Structure 1
Amino acid sequence: MSLIDRVKQALGGPFMRAVGILVGGTVVAQAILAATLPVATRLYTPADFSTLAVFTGIIAILSVGTCLRFDIAVPLPLKDEDGMAVVLLSLGIAAALNLVLLVAAALFSTTLAGWLGHPELAPYLWLVPVATFLAGAYSTLQFWFVRRKQFGQLARNRVMQAAGNSATQITLGVAGIAPLGLLLGQLANSGVGSIRLGWRLWREEQATIGRVGRHDIARMARQYDRFPKFSTLEAMCNSAAVYLPIILLSAWSVGPEAGYLSLGMYAMQVPMSLIGNAVSQVYMSRGPEEARAGTMGRFTAEVLGGLLKSGVGPIICIGVVAPELFRLVFGADWTRAGVLVTWMTPWFVMQFLASPISLALHIQNRLREAFLLQGFGLVMRTGTVALAVSLPGAYLSEAYALSGAVFYALYLAVVLRLTGVTPDTVLTRLFSSIPILAFWIVTGLSGRFAIEGLLTYASL
């Protein structure tokens, strides 16, 4: 039975068809990125990737709050006119906030870059508000197409985003424009996505847009005011818990450690995004219906079972084989990144399981609990890295990886409890996935031994 067949059996019906469409687009997109990444690691140095890690971290922290989280409210209203009003509200807020941020970046770029420990970023900090706005716009528009259940559009969009990202980075890398080529590739990713979805929205929804007045936008702002009040800080804490330690690690560590960590995290996103992001979007699309029907616990348990059978195994497999695989694919300079992938594997397994179903907290209006969870994660993960600085050996990256595993395990447990999924149900789903997980572990060990033998033979 194929991977898709196993997920279909676990999830079934329209849910699986929607996931399958998104997975198909993601497979092609990730194939493009995977094919070009070994080229990028030979065009850019680990220090360039360290600069990219800081740049990406800043954008990731700011972009989740740039729309004040009205973007994730787009699928919730019953009427399409109200959903469109939320779209316009979200885009307007993102434009206003990033205009202020652009002025600040222009005036204080040298000071800010010095604080970050990367003075070479000063000429490029004006790109941060541009990238942040594009990321916020893309998220808003994406949720509109999730609302419309036009998953085919999102799948095609992912392919074009990957192509834009890779083409920009490789072209500028060949021209020797570093690290700017990496930064502009990141910008192109969101830019291609938001421009394409924005054009389709304007072309297909002019009638809906025309029925939305300023009073509708104001009414939606009041109706969903809980999102800026609670969800904005929660989301920023979530993102900061992942990226702030990387920014601190880049400033505190000697050498391009953040670059190794960045490449390792980037590579691990491939199996995670293959299934996890697709499930997240479809979960958000179908979740409100399940919540209204009172079947959120059953629905969440089904999704968890599908995640265990579809994506956890490949993540473990990559973690086992990573040290030798990175040396083979990316070059000997990147072996350290593969070692860090092994350390990060438990973290990404827990995150892969927790992230899609954590949207239940938003669907069920448990925003206070979500905020408290993410605040705890930010304090714990940043504090762990800060504590590791004072310890002998200063294993900052390893400490960061382990803190992620602990946090997402706790996060998963809390989300399952709040959605009504019992421990017995979780154990049943886990035991049923053991044969699949065992297959992936054996595959990873076999691959590692094979690559070690190949590298040993090549060195003789």
Structure 2
Amino acid sequence: MSAYWRHVSTVFTGSLFAQSIPIIGSLAIARIFAPSEFGEFSTWLALVSFIAVVVTLRLETVLAIVEDGEDRAKAVFITLATTLSMTCILSVALYILSSFSIARAYLPEQPVLLSLIVPAAFLVALNQIWQTWAAVDGTYRKLNTMRLVQAFSIVLIQIGAGLRYPAAVSLVLGFVIASGISFVTAVILMPRFVYGSFFHHDMFLKFFLRYKKFPLYALPADSINTAVAQLPVLVVFHRFGGETAGYLALTMRVLGAPVGLVGKAILDVFKRYAVLGIRESGNCRNLYIKTFMALALASIIMVICTVLLAEDIFRVAFGDEWIQSGRMAIWLLPMFALGLVASPLSYMVYLVEKQYVDLLWQVGLMVVAMAALYGFSSSRSTLIGYGVGYAMMYMVYILISYRLSGGGN
């Protein structure tokens, strides 16, 4: 266990800097861009995040369970080829959808924003593949470098562009350019991905037959999960306007920071050690319990700090016009607090290949989220209902993942 927590500490340190950079950058961004512009960018980013999940078919999650060496390199190659193919298909699909009035209501009005959705999603997917690869290989320093470059690039370019032209398009262009820089950095750090001997159609066939559960179950499950996570900004933008969506987007960025910081650091190490435990003894229950206790402690600290300080932090850090974001942080606290515990541990469904369980849970989550987002008349009651419903579903997921840690039975 000492090696486990030492590696968690290594990833945590890198994640601390990587997660701190967007928060510090938000101090400048909130004063450069109006809430409505930030809301428009966040709506665009929600669409990008969803498409980035779809184009990979969630095959990058396979990397955690394949053997080190050539088998994993082949898995990376197949994932890359699949991602490129899916990106081309979705480009055509998005072009067709943009001609329908119903779809246009949820798509950006500016042509440049619309045209950059798929390229941005492709870059996000590529960065996710490389970062997952680094994590499962145990090269945590390279992983930290990738995330730091990504975070620094996005913040610096967005601030620089905003100083010249404080509009949503500057935030979008800054994100796309920075994602490209991050990907180039990742390839330089881990360039082992082109192998001539891999070009065999039977290799693809065997791979998809062996891991068919991932596109069949994990893809729809994670697509639903990403949609549910991004829906608040999209629905709030559609129902209550860009300004309210901007407040919400900043809330989710700031409150999501500790969840991303602690959750990603532990997940990156947990999935490697958990799969080793399952291979050696058939379960990882002891590792699961100790990880759960650490996450629960972090969650309690987060709750106390948010309740006591949220409104003051947003007012002092971002200005009086953003104090509404501090109020929203308290409304959504149940979701983020339990998400901090549940999200890293939910990876158990992939490690024991029980993706259908995850899919069923995600469908239930979608029903709960849609009922909350469209079942209340005010933005306050809508977000409170969404946060409480999400938290209740997280409690169910914690119980499921605990059971699966015993070996999937």
Cα distance in 2 for partners of 1:47, 1:101 equals 28
The equivalent of 1:133 in structure 2 is 122
Cα distance in 2 for partners of 1:69, 1:350 equals 24
Q: 1:22/1:394 Cα in 2 relative to 1: closer, same or farther (>3 Å)?
A: closer
State the AA in 2 paired with 1:277.
K
Cα distance in 2 for partners of 1:74, 1:237 equals 21
Q: Paired residue for 1:295, among 255, 267, 283?
A: 283
Question: How do 1:122-271 residues align onto structure 2 when only pairs under 5 Å count?
Answer: 122-202=111-191, 204=192, 209-214=195-200, 215-254=202-241, 256-271=243-258
What is the TM-score with the length of structure 2 in the denominator?
0.92
Residues 279-307 of structure 1: per-residue CA shift (max 9 Å, x gap): 11111112211112223222111110121
Which moved further from structure 2: 248-257 or 327-336? 248-257
CA-CA distance at 1:117 after TM superposition: 5.0
The equivalent of 2:271 in structure 1 is 284
Q: 1:305/1:113 Cα in 2 relative to 1: closer, same or farther (>3 Å)?
A: same
The equivalent of 2:27 in structure 1 is 38
State the AA in 1 paired with 2:215.
P
Cα distance in 2 for partners of 1:60, 1:364 equals 26
Q: 1:19 and 2:8 equivalent?
A: yes
The equivalent of 1:413 in structure 2 is 399
State the AA in 2 paired with 1:377.
L
Identity %: 22
Q: Is the 8 A contact 2:62 2:211 kept in 1?
A: yes
Q: Is the 8 A contact 2:352 2:404 kept in 1?
A: no
Q: 1:364/1:36 Cα in 2 relative to 1: closer, same or farther (>3 Å)?
A: same
State the AA in 2 paired with 1:16.
W
Q: Paired residue for 2:314, among 326, 336, 349?
A: 326
Q: Is the 8 A contact 1:64 1:136 kept in 2?
A: yes
Q: 1:385 and 2:373 equivalent?
A: yes
Question: How do 1:29-68 residues align onto structure 2 when only pairs under 5 Å count?
Answer: 29-68=18-57
Cα distance in 2 for partners of 1:246, 1:367 equals 27
Q: Is the 8 A contact 1:113 1:119 kept in 2?
A: no
Which moved further from structure 2: 293-302 or 327-336? 293-302
State the AA in 2 paired with 1:332.
D
Q: 1:112/1:138 Cα in 2 relative to 1: closer, same or farther (>3 Å)?
A: farther
State the AA in 2 paired with 1:228.
P
Q: Is the 8 A contact 1:68 1:232 kept in 2?
A: yes
Q: 1:31/1:143 Cα in 2 relative to 1: closer, same or farther (>3 Å)?
A: closer
CA-CA distance at 1:61 after TM superposition: 1.7
CA-CA distance at 1:241 after TM superposition: 1.5
**Long gaps (5+) in structure 2:** none
Which moved further from structure 2: 227-236 or 90-99? 90-99
CA-CA distance at 1:116 after TM superposition: 3.1
The equivalent of 1:275 in structure 2 is 262
Cα distance in 1 for partners of 2:165, 2:259 equals 32
Cα distance in 2 for partners of 1:174, 1:113 equals 35
Question: How do 1:432-443 residues align onto structure 2 when only pairs under 5 Å count?
Answer: none
Q: 1:373 and 2:361 equivalent?
A: yes
Cα distance in 2 for partners of 1:305, 1:155 equals 25
CA-CA distance at 1:197 after TM superposition: 1.5
Cα distance in 1 for partners of 2:43, 2:149 equals 25
State the AA in 2 paired with 1:94.
T
**Long gaps (5+) in structure 1:** 1-11, 422-460
Q: Is the 8 A contact 1:287 1:296 kept in 2?
A: yes
Q: Is the 8 A contact 1:29 1:162 kept in 2?
A: yes
**Which structure has the higher relative contact order (CA within 8 Å, separation 6+)?**
2
CA-CA distance at 1:351 after TM superposition: 0.4
Which moved further from structure 2: 108-117 or 255-264? 108-117
Which moved further from structure 2: 15-24 or 248-257? 248-257
Q: Is the 8 A contact 1:73 1:86 kept in 2?
A: yes
CA-CA distance at 1:30 after TM superposition: 2.6
State the AA in 1 paired with 2:52.
S
State the AA in 1 paired with 2:211.
Y
Q: Is the 8 A contact 1:94 1:133 kept in 2?
A: yes
Q: 1:48/1:351 Cα in 2 relative to 1: closer, same or farther (>3 Å)?
A: same
Q: 1:393/1:248 Cα in 2 relative to 1: closer, same or farther (>3 Å)?
A: closer
Q: Paired residue for 2:389, among 399, 403, 408?
A: 403
CA-CA distance at 1:102 after TM superposition: 2.5
- The 3-state SS of whatever aligns with 1:64 is helix
Q: 1:76/1:418 Cα in 2 relative to 1: closer, same or farther (>3 Å)?
A: closer
Residues 57-105 of structure 1: per-residue CA shift (max 9 Å, x gap): 1122221221111111013222522211111111111111112222344
CA-CA distance at 1:56 after TM superposition: 1.6
Q: Paired residue for 2:79, among 72, 79, 90?
A: 90
State the AA in 2 paired with 1:400.
Y
CA-CA distance at 1:385 after TM superposition: 1.0
Residues 364-386 of structure 1: per-residue CA shift (max 9 Å, x gap): 11111111001110111112111
CA-CA distance at 1:147 after TM superposition: 2.5
- The 3-state SS of whatever aligns with 2:55 is coil
- The 3-state SS of whatever aligns with 1:30 is helix
Which moved further from structure 2: 334-343 or 293-302? 293-302
Cα distance in 2 for partners of 1:211, 1:278 equals 35
What is the TM-score with the length of structure 1 in the denominator?
0.82
Bigger Cα Rg: 1
Give the number of equivalent residue pairs: 405
- The 3-state SS of whatever aligns with 2:54 is coil
The equivalent of 1:313 in structure 2 is 301
Q: 1:305/1:64 Cα in 2 relative to 1: closer, same or farther (>3 Å)?
A: same
